[in-house]
């Protein structure tokens, strides 16, 4: 029960912007991993009910933990043990949180000593997010998906 309460406390203590970020990632995990297409308003209600003491379904609780892991390094463990998670605040922290489990290919790693290349990489990351930006989280998510689909198109010679 203590661990469950720690996760409840973690969610309850999220700032509004962090809570939105949490809900967006949670919805994606529920859709992709559990094949559950939950409306944002329904998801918000379920999370609120969990925070106020309702027993969660196992798949939802697991999705909460997976979401914390996606948003923060060792996020699930931090939520379970300490009842708090430090979510990324800066561009660097955000980039680290979404790429920490992905090794950089060797042929790219060789070029990362060049300051101009590093500067362009930072600009690409910021520009993608700014290009996809939208006040509505569903639109923002859709913009990210569409951009990712577009950028994933490869020619036959790649």
As a whole number of Å, the end-to-end CA separation of the chain is 52
* pLDDT for residue 155: 55
* pLDDT for residue 52: 96
* pLDDT for residue 109: 85
Domain ranges of the chain: 2-82, 103-152
* pLDDT for residue 143: 92
* pLDDT for residue 76: 92
The tens-digit pLDDT sequence of the chain (158 residues) is 789 999 999 999 998 888 888 998 999 999 999 999 999 999 999 999 999 999 999 999 999 999 999 888 889 999 999 888 887 666 766 776 677 667 888 888 889 888 999 899 889 988 998 899 888 888 999 999 999 889 888 754 55
- Secondary structure string (H, E, C) spanning 11-54: HHCCCHHHHHHHHHHHHHHHHHHHCCCCCHHHHHHHHHHHHCCC
* pLDDT for residue 89: 66
CB 41 within 8 A of CB 114: no
Tokens read off for 7: 């996760």
* pLDDT for residue 11: 96
Dihedral angle computed from the Cα positions of residues 124, 127, 133 and 137, in that order, rounded to the nearest 10 degrees: 10
């Amino acid at each position: 029960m203590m661990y469950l309460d720690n996760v409840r406390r973690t969610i309850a203590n999220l700032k509004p912007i962090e809570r939105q970020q949490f809900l967006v990632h949670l919805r994606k995990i529920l859709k992709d991993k559990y094949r559950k297409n939950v409306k944002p308003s329904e998801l918000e209600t379920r999370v609120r009910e969990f925070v106020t003491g309702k027993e969660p379904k196992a798949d939802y609780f697991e999705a909460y933990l997976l979401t914390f892991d996606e948003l923060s390094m060792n996020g699930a463990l931090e939520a379970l043990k300490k009842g708090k998670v430090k979510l990324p605040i800066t561009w660097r922290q955000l980039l680290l949180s979404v790429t920490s489990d992905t090794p950089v290919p060797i042929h790219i790693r060789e070029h990362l000593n060049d300051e101009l290349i590093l500067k362009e990489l930072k600009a690409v990351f910021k520009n993608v997010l700014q290009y996809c930006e939208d006040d509505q989280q569903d639109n923002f998510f859709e913009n990210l998906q569409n951009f990712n689909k577009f950028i994933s198109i490869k020619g036959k010679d790649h």
